[in-house]
């Protein structure tokens, strides 16, 4: 008996859907891209329960005929390409003809659509790939697609969806990727009947302002323009002034109207800032590339955002030079105001002039053999050191069964303070303790203990502080607000885009509140912490880092002793919770070797 048979379309579609549609955000991307391809100038996204209950996209685009509306949900049905040749000159967002077929395989879909030339529109209902009804209807020109109960027939997938807040953040991030590059299209985002974003038509800069600007000071004032036109590529956009670098930068690349990730080009941007940024801070940027579509390959996996360029090394050079030129020009203006903490290394005035002079024609000075990674040995040597640190480090005792680290009580030792390190003799040699990291470990343990107990000490602020947040930050804050209360924050939503803070953890310095909260949000977002206990740890860590004594501060003898005592009482003290070395030893042998003994 023959055993091979073709799968029914509904099953094949469901399998394909597994790849294309992973979460409500992928649905949003596909539907909004379709609206853009249909020439819409006004697009509304309306979600309920972060798209779990429903996700609706309404556009004023071309609409579809009765037959096309039906065809659109078939697999490999597309109006955008006709032959393989067309793949090399794509100017539309979609082309695979997979999205609608995939969506209708795993949800209940209702479409209302009408073309301008038609008197009546058509209403089509499909559930799990089965057409349930199609009938004429009255509706405006354009397309209105509602996707209900996503994954209703794939319970495993539905279960895998994260909390509503996380999914809503994913939706907003996907939305940002699109709206930032289509400023000439009007967008609205509504979640559970609340308008979260309303974006009028404008320039790219106005769109960035509308998305990320909050309150009184213009967000886009933090940026300088970049622009270059070469035969290979045109680049334009905005890069953050060095002193506005922060821990939570917005970094976006777009190519031909499409968001992309590109770690190699990211490296080019960072290289342009070399020497201008303090350690952990990063610049924000919004960079738009325009390139002949034949020189890029977007025909990769539908959910991937990486794009291959034919001549990446040359583009790297052009991008680097362009960003550097703009930063150079900016350096010449005298109105610099570095009122932030931390050292920012700026080129000397004489070098600045040189810089800007040599970058007036950025696009002609590239070296095709240049390999950025072989030159930026700053990062590689750091990696090298870390690699060896593991093997060089003498074993420090970890628990009580091992011999104690110190021959005498810590209260009998006076720690020597040197550049943020506490130095004390120990059984193995000279012990070096990074003071800030040591205190971070101690505080982290205190904060996690408070969280376990359910209440941390709080200090009331004389005047509540109102802090503005972006929509996705608001969503994240709502998720973690209970946990922030547990560590001592007293906070209430104040308006659609702000929180009022009336109390903080007792250890926190009042002027650091906005920074500390932003750092917490950033750490959670960066590490993708999703479960409650995960983000509680992140809150504790972020707070500990922000409130720990800085390395520059000199301590009294008692303070230094107390810190060491607290540190060595911890169950683990060698590394901070995020893996940074706290304690290091120069062994007696190493010291002897230095003296050829």
Instruction: Name the residue among 501, 426, 429, 436 with its Cα closest to residue 466.
Output: 501
Q: How far is the CB of 245 from ligand ADP (least distance, A)?
A: 38
Instruction: State the residue number with the nearest CB to ligand ADP.
Output: 94
573 binds ligand ADP (CB under 6 A): no
Q: Which one of 80, 158, 352, 574 is in contact with ligand ADP (CB under 6 A)?
A: 80
55 binds Mg ion (CB under 5 A): no
Instruction: State the residue number with the nearest CB to Mg ion.
Output: 94
Q: How far is the CB of 574 from ligand ADP (least distance, A)?
A: 53
**Contact of 42 with 59, CB cutoff 8 Å:** yes
**Contact of 298 with 258, CB cutoff 8 Å:** yes
61 binds Mg ion (CB under 5 A): no
d(CA 37, CA 185) in angstroms, rounded, equals 12
Instruction: Name the residue among 416, 405, 409, 438 with its Cα closest to residue 574.
Output: 438
Q: How far is the CB of 103 from ligand ADP (least distance, A)?
A: 8
Choice between 94 and 121, CB closer to Mg ion: 94
Half-sphere exposure of 450 (CA within 13 A, CB side): 27
Q: Which one of 54, 95, 222, 447 is in contact with ligand ADP (CB under 6 A)?
A: 95
359 binds ligand ADP (CB under 6 A): no
Residues 147-178 as b or e (16 or more Cβ within 10 Å = b): bbebbebbeebeeebeebbbbbbbbbebbbbb
Stretch that binds ligand ADP, among 96-104, 173-181, 380-388, 574-582 (CB under 6 A): 96-104
107 binds ligand ADP (CB under 6 A): no
99 binds Mg ion (CB under 5 A): yes
70 binds ligand ADP (CB under 6 A): no
Residue 230: how many other CB atoms lie within 10 Å:
16
Q: Which one of 96, 241, 536, 538 is in contact with ligand ADP (CB under 6 A)?
A: 96
Q: Which does 64 bind (CB under 5 to 8 A by kind): Mg ion, ligand ADP, none?
A: ligand ADP
> What does the longest C-alpha to C-alpha distance in the chain come to?
98
**Contact of 47 with 171, CB cutoff 8 Å:** yes
Stretch that binds ligand ADP, among 61-69, 268-276, 559-567, 574-582 (CB under 6 A): 61-69
Count of all residues that appear for the chain in the document: 597
Structure tokens at 558: 């008692």
Q: Which one of 143, 170, 561, 576 is in contact with ligand ADP (CB under 6 A)?
A: 143
Q: How far is the CB of 59 from ligand ADP (least distance, A)?
A: 5
Handedness of CA 183, 363, 89, 286 (dihedral sign): negative
Choice between 62 and 127, CB closer to ligand ADP: 62
Choice between 76 and 594, CB closer to ligand ADP: 76
Q: Which one of 24, 51, 61, 415 is in contact with ligand ADP (CB under 6 A)?
A: 61
Q: What is the dihedral of CA 191, 526, 537, 456, to 10 degrees?
A: -60
Instruction: Name the residue among 577, 471, 596 with its Cα closest to residue 527.
Output: 577
Q: Which does 465 bind (CB under 5 to 8 A by kind): Mg ion, ligand ADP, none?
A: none
62 binds ligand ADP (CB under 6 A): yes
94 binds Mg ion (CB under 5 A): yes
Structure tokens at 41: 């100038």
238 binds ligand ADP (CB under 6 A): no
66 binds ligand ADP (CB under 6 A): no
Choice between 63 and 505, CB closer to ligand ADP: 63
50 binds Mg ion (CB under 5 A): no
77 binds ligand ADP (CB under 6 A): yes
Question: How many residues make contact with Mg ion (CB under 5 A)?
Answer: 3
What part of residues 22-51 is at the interface with ligand ADP (CB under 6 A)?
Answer: 30, 34-35, 37-38
DSSP character at residue 572:
-
Q: How far is the CB of 107 from Mg ion (least distance, A)?
A: 15
121 binds ligand ADP (CB under 6 A): no
Q: Which one of 17, 27, 45, 100 is in contact with ligand ADP (CB under 6 A)?
A: 100
Q: What is the dihedral of CA 329, 331, 337, 341, to 10 degrees?
A: 130
140 binds ligand ADP (CB under 6 A): no
Bridge partners, residue 111, by sequence: 124, 145
34 binds Mg ion (CB under 5 A): yes
Choice between 116 and 401, CB closer to ligand ADP: 116
507 binds ligand ADP (CB under 6 A): no
Choice between 57 and 523, CB closer to Mg ion: 57
Q: In what order do the strands lie in the sheet with 42-48?
A: 130-137, 121-127, 108-114, 142-148, 54-59, 42-48, 186-191, 194-199
d(CA 426, CA 439) in angstroms, rounded, equals 20
Supply the angle between the helices 471-486 and 513-527 in degrees, to the nearest 10: 100
On the 0-12 / 13-18 / 19+ scale of CB atoms within 10 A, 567 is buried
122 binds ligand ADP (CB under 6 A): no
**Contact of 544 with 444, CB cutoff 8 Å:** yes
Stretch that binds ligand ADP, among 20-28, 44-52, 72-80, 537-545 (CB under 6 A): 72-80
75 binds ligand ADP (CB under 6 A): no
Q: How far is the CB of 64 from Mg ion (least distance, A)?
A: 12
Q: How far is the CB of 20 from Mg ion (least distance, A)?
A: 10
Query: Which residue's structure tokens are 């050191």?
Result: 385
Question: How many residues make contact with ligand ADP (CB under 6 A)?
Answer: 24
Choice between 35 and 479, CB closer to ligand ADP: 35
Instruction: Name the residue among 195, 188, 180, 199 with its Cα closest to residue 59.
Output: 188
Structure tokens at 474: 């608001």
79 binds ligand ADP (CB under 6 A): yes
Structure tokens at 351: 């070098």
d(CA 66, CA 58) in angstroms, rounded, equals 18
Stretch that binds Mg ion, among 3-11, 92-100, 141-149, 364-372 (CB under 5 A): 92-100
Alpha helices in 291-348 (DSSP H): 312-332
Which residues lie closer than 8 Å to 231 by C-beta, 6 or more apart? none
d(CA 476, CA 521) in angstroms, rounded, equals 7
> Binding residues for ligand ADP, per CB under 6 A?
30, 34-35, 37-38, 59, 61-64, 72, 77-80, 94-101, 143
Interface contacts to Mg ion, rule CB under 5 A = 34, 94, 99
């Amino acid at each position: 008996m023959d055993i091979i048979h073709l799968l029914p379309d509904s099953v094949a579609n469901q399998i394909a859907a597994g790849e294309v549609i992973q979460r409500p955000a992928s649905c949003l991307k596909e539907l909004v891209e379709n609206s853009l391809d249909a020439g819409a100038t006004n697009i509304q996204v309306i979600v309920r329960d972060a798209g779990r209950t429903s996700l609706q996209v309404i556009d004023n685009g071309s609409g579809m005929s009765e037959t096309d509306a039906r065809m659109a949900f078939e697999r490999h049905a597309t109006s955008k390409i006709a032959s393989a040749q067309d793949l090399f000159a794509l100017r539309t967002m979609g082309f695979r003809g997979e999205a609608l077929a995939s969506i209708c395989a795993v949800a209940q879909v209702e479409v209302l659509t009408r073309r301008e030339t038609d008197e009546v529109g058509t209403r089509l209902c499909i559930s799990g790939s089965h057409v349930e009804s199609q009938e004429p209807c009255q509706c405006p020109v354009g397309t209105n697609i509602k996707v209900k109960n996503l994954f209703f027939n794939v319970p495993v997938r539905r279960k895998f969806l994260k909390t509503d807040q996380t999914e809503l953040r994913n939706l907003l991030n996907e939305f940002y990727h699109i709206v930032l590059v289509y400023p000439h299209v009007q967008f609205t985002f509504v979640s559970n009947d609340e308008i979260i974003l309303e974006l009028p038509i404008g320039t790219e800069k106005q769109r960035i302002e509308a998305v990320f600007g909050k309150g009184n000071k213009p967000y886009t004032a933090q940026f300088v323009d970049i622009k270059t036109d070469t035969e290979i590529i045109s680049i334009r956009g905005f890069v953050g002034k060095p002193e506005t670098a922060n821990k939570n930068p917005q970094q976006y690349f777009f190519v031909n109207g499409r968001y992309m990730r590109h770690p190699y080009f990211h490296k080019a941007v960072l290289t342009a800032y070399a020497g201008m940024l303090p350690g952990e801070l990063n610049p924000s940027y919004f960079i738009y590339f325009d390139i002949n579509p034949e020189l890029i390959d977007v025909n990769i996996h539908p959910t991937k955002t990486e794009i291959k360029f034919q001549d990446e090394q040359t583009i790297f050079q052009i991008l680097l030079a362009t960003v550097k030129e703009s930063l150079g020009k900016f350096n010449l203006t005298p109105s610099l105001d570095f009122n932030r903490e931390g050292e920012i290394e700026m080129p000397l005035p004489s070098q600045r002039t040189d810089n800007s002079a040599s970058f007036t024609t950025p696009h002609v000075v590239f070296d095709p053999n240049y390999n950025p990674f072989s030159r930026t040995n700053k990062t590689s040597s750091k990696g090298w050191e870390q690699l060896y640190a593991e093997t060089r480090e003498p074993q420090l005792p970890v628990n009580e069964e091992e011999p104690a680290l110190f021959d005498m009580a810590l209260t009998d030792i006076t720690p020597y303070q040197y550049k943020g390190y506490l130095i004390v003799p120990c059984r193995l040699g000279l012990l070096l303790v990074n003071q800030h990291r040591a205190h971070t470990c101690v505080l982290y343990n205190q904060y996690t203990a408070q969280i376990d107990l359910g209440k941390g000490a709080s200090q009331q602020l004389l005047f509540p502080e109102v802090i503005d947040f972006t929509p996705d930050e608001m969503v994240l804050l709502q998720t973690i607000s209970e946990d922030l209360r547990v560590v001592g924050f007293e906070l209430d939503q104040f308006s659609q885009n702000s929180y009022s803070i009336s109390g903080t953890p007792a250890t926190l310095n009042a002027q650091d509140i906005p920074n500390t909260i932003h750092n917490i949000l950033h750490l959670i977002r960066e590490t993708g912490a999703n479960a409650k206990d995960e983000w509680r740890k992140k809150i504790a860590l972020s707070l500990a880092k922000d409130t720990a004594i800085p390395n520059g501060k000199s301590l009294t003898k008692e303070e230094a002793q107390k810190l060491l005592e607290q540190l060595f009482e911890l169950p683990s003290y060698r590394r901070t919770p995020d893996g940074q070395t706290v304690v290091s030893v120069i062994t007696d042998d190493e010291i002897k070797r230095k003296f050829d003994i």
